[in-house]
Amino acid sequence: MTLSLTVLGRSPARPNPGEACAGYLVEGGGSRVLVDIGPGIVAQLLLRHHPDELDAVIVSHMHADHMLDLVTLRYVYPWRRLAADERLRVIMPPGSADQLLDLARGVGGPRHFEDAFQLSEHDGSSTFRAGKIQVQPRETQHYIPCWGFRFSEGGRVLSYTADTGPCGGLDELADGANLLLSEATLRSLDEDAQPPEPRGHLLPAEAGEAARLGGVERLVLTHLPVDHDEVSTFRAQAQEVFEGTVEIATPGRSYDV
């Protein structure tokens, strides 16, 4: 099975009308992984698959637009403590356990997630597997700790930046990727953090530059506000610096890697 990407949601924290926030299906080798699970993603997932058909859910960071539908996902499962082999594998970012516990207490009790999910944290750098898909985390530059991922299967590489400003982690993610799924949240630098605070998002042209320097074959822009004709503007800005294929992530669409 060819490595593929399906966009369930592409919105930034302020959702585009009628769209979900961040969430993507990565499939390959007969395995299926949900990467990020922002508000609205579970409803989109259930149009296609029951969560039991997933090998894992992987969360990039603890901002609400990337993880809050974990609360909704819990309600898909019976309201009882599941046996260990019935629990969905959920891989969280390093150091997130206390935040997840606080969220669990707020929505149902301290075991709200534990009773349905097999929870773990990746270590921030080591490669791991989700089914047959190899997953390599790379820390990115955001307002809180955040990790992007390189997904490999069958000799193909899909890289997902998660949320990031320009940084070495972004360069590592882009390096040699067949498809780079990159955030492009900013219309202008005025929308990002201002010095001396570190930046946390990209302009479309910066995503294009990362793709160019990394020798990427195909760039898909996501996590971006969509308003009228802005889609063509975002694409054009990336194409000014990157000569490869540039596309805008479309909810519901699948992309072969």
By residue range, what is the domain housing residue 130? 4-256
Structure token digits, residue 83: 């046996």
Which pLDDT does position 232 carry in this prediction? 84
Number of domains comprising the chain: 1
DSSP per residue over 26-76, as a string? EEETTEEEEE---TTHHHHHHTT--GGG-SEEE---SSHHHHTTHHHHHTT
Phi and psi based region of residue 11 (left: phi greater than 0; alpha: psi -120 to 50; beta: remaining): beta
Residues forming beta bridges with residue 157, ordered by sequence position: 152
State yes or no: pLDDT of 226 exceeds 90. no
Which pLDDT does position 228 carry in this prediction? 60
Instruction: For residues 137 and 56, give the distance between their C-alpha atoms in angstroms, rounded to a whole number.
Output: 15
* pTM (2 d.p.): 0.97
State yes or no: pLDDT of 22 exceeds 80. yes
Which pLDDT does position 90 carry in this prediction? 98
CATH number at residue 197: 3.60.15.10
State yes or no: pLDDT of 229 exceeds 70. no
Give tens-digit pLDDT for 148-197. 999 999 999 999 999 999 999 999 999 999 999 999 999 999 999 999 99
Instruction: For residues 90 and 119, give the distance between their C-alpha atoms in angstroms, rounded to a whole number.
Output: 5
Tell me the residue ranges of DSSP E strands in the chain. Answer: 4-9, 23-28, 31-35, 56-58, 88-92, 117-121, 128-130, 133-140, 146-153, 156-160, 179-183, 218-222, 245-248, 254-256
Going by the DSSP 8-state scheme, the letter that residue 132 receives in this structure is: T
Give tens-digit pLDDT for 118-153. 999 999 999 999 999 999 999 999 999 999 999 999
Instruction: For residues 212 and 93, give the distance between their C-alpha atoms in angstroms, rounded to a whole number.
Output: 28
Give tens-digit pLDDT for 68-125. 999 999 999 988 888 888 999 999 999 999 999 999 999 988 999 999 999 999 999 9
State yes or no: pLDDT of 59 exceeds 90. yes
Instruction: For residues 112 and 116, give the distance between their C-alpha atoms in angstroms, rounded to a whole number.
Output: 8
